[in-house]
Copies of this chain bind each other. A is one copy, B any other.
C-alpha cells in the first residue's frame, strides 16, 4: 500500500532457528555491498525520530540514505522521516517489542538495497528487548534523554553494554531536570568502557558536530 512517499510492510512471522546466523548473513551482505547500517535504539519519546531527521539532513548531500521505521502501529515517524526526501519503509512487526534479524531482513528487502550507502533502522521504542537481538547492523547506537534520568544504566544495563555510541539527548533541558552527567558517564563506563558518549540536543543541534563526525568516520570505515 502506498501512502505518501513510503511503503508499509507487515512482517511475516517466519520460524528462524538462529537469530545470530541471520544477523551475520545480513551484516555480510550489506558489507559486500558497501552499505553502512546503523541500529538506533531508545525508550519511547527519547527523540529517535528527531535525531534521525537532523542526522539525515546533515549528511544526505554526501550519502544515499534509506530508513527502516519499525513501529507497533502508526506511520507518524515514517511520515516525519519521509519529509527529508530519503527512501523510507514503515515496518509494522505484529506488536513485537523489538526487531529481530529476520524482521530486519524483511525490512531491508522491502526498502531495497540498490543505490544506498547508509541505512538507518529506527527500532521499537523500548529499553529492554531490542538490546537482546543482533539485527546485523554495522554499529549500534542508543539514545538516553535527559528527562529519563541518569540511573538508567543501573536498571537496564544490556542496551548500554551492546551500544557502540550513546547519545545523551535533550541537553537543552539539562537545567530543568536533576541529571548528573558525570554519574551517568561512570555508570556507562562500568558496563561498557568502549561506548562513546555524546551529549546532543536534536531540537537545537547542540553537539551534532561531534555526533556527525563520529558517524561519518564509521560510515567511511563501514564498521565500529
Contact = CB atoms under 8 A, between A and B. Distances in A.
B71 A155 contact: yes
Chain A residues touching B, range: 20 to 34
A170 interface: yes
Contacts of A72: 128, 155-158
Taken together, the copies of this chain in the complex come to 2
A25 to B, nearest CB: 26
A154 B45 contact: no
A155 B43 contact: no
Interface string A39-51: 0000111000000
Interface stretch (A2-10, A52-60, A143-151, A214-222): A143-151
Interface stretch (A16-24, A26-34, A73-81, A105-113): A73-81
Contacts of A152: 44-45
B127 A44 contact: yes
Interface string A100-134: 00000000000000000000000011111100100
A181 interface: no
A212 interface: no
Interface string A162-183: 0000000010010010000000
20 contacts: A43-B44, A43-B45, A44-B155, A45-B147, A45-B149, A45-B152, A72-B157, A73-B154, A76-B151, A76-B155, A97-B128, A97-B129, A126-B127, A126-B128, A126-B129, A129-B129, A147-B170, A147-B173, A173-B173, A173-B176
> Which are the 7 A-B pairs with shortest beta-carbon distances?
A45-B148, A147-B147, A97-B128, A74-B154, A44-B127, A43-B44, A97-B129
